[in-house]
Amino acid sequence: MIDRRLIQNFDWLLLLLACAIVATGLVILYSAVSSGGKAHSGILMRQIYWLGIGFVAMALAFSLDYQWLERFAYPLYIGGLLLLVAVLVHGKTVSGSKRWLDLGLVVAQPSELMKPLLVIALARYFARQEKRDGYRIRDLGLPAIIVVIPVLLVLLEPDLGTAMILLIISVSVVLFVGVQPFSLLVLAGCSLGSLPLLWFLMKGYQRQRILTLIEPSRDPLGAGYHIIQSKIAVGSGQFWGKGFLEGTQSQLRFIPEHHTDFIFSVLAEEWGFLGSILLLGLFLCLLLRGLSLARRSRDHFGALLGFGITVILFWHVAVNIGMVLGMLPVVGIPLPLVSYGGSSAVVTMASIGILLNVGMRKFVFQK
């Protein structure tokens, strides 16, 4: 029988917030693809299909005790690495990048799945190797290996944006568990010192994106086009917006990738500052709820898991909005539950299911 406490502790507010964001995303996506003709006519239905699978994934994610994730954290992580290797060997190439794996019925993006799997692996390590006085550099050797391997595999696709997100998520988890001050200074110095090497290893178009961020007008019809058109759309929405399906930048298709990476531009143009703040408010409530569930977790692993999943959502929102506003380089990061994308939608819904899992089982105590 199902423990009654599981139902009593189910976080309906978190589910309601997720559903509200999903519904908002579908409305915005409908507007984004409405002027695309037959080429985009199936996008909305495919997104609904993926979200349906996402709800199933969410149900599976909160059905089993999350201790199962701790027990099998490393095998799941290795499975994710094998999928990344499979992408490099047999992946589908789109626009010069191998990011998708054709599984027959579906085409999946394993790098999206790697984000929660990386969090689960790090949570497993830090939960079993807890240091109350903070971690030293030598304590972070295995976590560094856990992080570096998927980052390098993703960089080989190449996918700089996802690799960057994996690094930022990992750093956030490490800062959450605590690092001794001297070790933190050394790590910060090494990170800053590696920037010239990172610049050298970047491909030409990646360097161009960063230079364009500083001065978009240097290439207004090339690398700077996305940022310029996005900022025009956001600014033209003003406070109230131009109205549903009335955005000129989006409906006349001046904004590239307006149904994926730049879908927030569509919202800002048609619903203005008010609509943008309402959506960001929903995300803020979702993130705060995730942190609350992590804080009230029954054990250290649950706290790390809840925090890590919330951090994934936070950085996706922050980086995507930063791209749209021209504050960060264009690195192809979707807006969770809003941007079109099957892998992103399913993985995000499953991640929210993990948060629900952590909250449902806070009443069970470890011996």
pLDDT for position 247: 79
SS3 (DSSP) at 100: strand
Cα dihedral sign, 223-211-316-267: negative
Residue 366 is assigned to a structural domain of this protein: no
pLDDT for position 228: 81
Amino acid identity of 62?
Answer: F
Residue 243 is assigned to a structural domain of this protein: yes
Residue 11 is assigned to a structural domain of this protein: no
Residue 94 is assigned to a structural domain of this protein: yes
Residue 48 is assigned to a structural domain of this protein: yes
102's tokens: 């054709």
pLDDT for position 105: 72
pLDDT for position 365: 46
Place of tokens 């819904």: 349
Residue 1 is assigned to a structural domain of this protein: no
* β partners of residue 102: 107
For residues 126 and 140, the answer to whether their CB atoms sit within 8 Å is: no
Residue 278 is assigned to a structural domain of this protein: yes
Place of tokens 């990738």: 257
Number of domains observed in the structure of the chain:
1
pLDDT digits (tens, 9 = 90+) for 90-135: 887 776 677 888 877 778 899 999 999 999 999 999 999 888 788 8
CA-based angle 157:342:32, to the nearest 5? 105
Residue 300 is assigned to a structural domain of this protein: yes
* Contacts of residue 288, Cβ cutoff 8 Å, sequence gap at least 6: none
Residues of the chain under the 50 pLDDT cut: 1, 365-367
pLDDT for position 205: 67
pLDDT for position 215: 65
pLDDT digits (tens, 9 = 90+) for 266-302: 999 999 999 999 999 999 999 999 999 999 898 999 9
For residues 216 and 227, the answer to whether their CB atoms sit within 8 Å is: yes
Domain that holds residue 99: 23-360
* φ/ψ (deg, to 5) at 355: -60, -45
159's tokens: 């996918």
pLDDT for position 182: 86
DSSP per-residue letters across 146-192: HHHHHHHHHHTTT-HHHHHHHHHHHHHHHHHH-B-HHHHHHHHHHHH
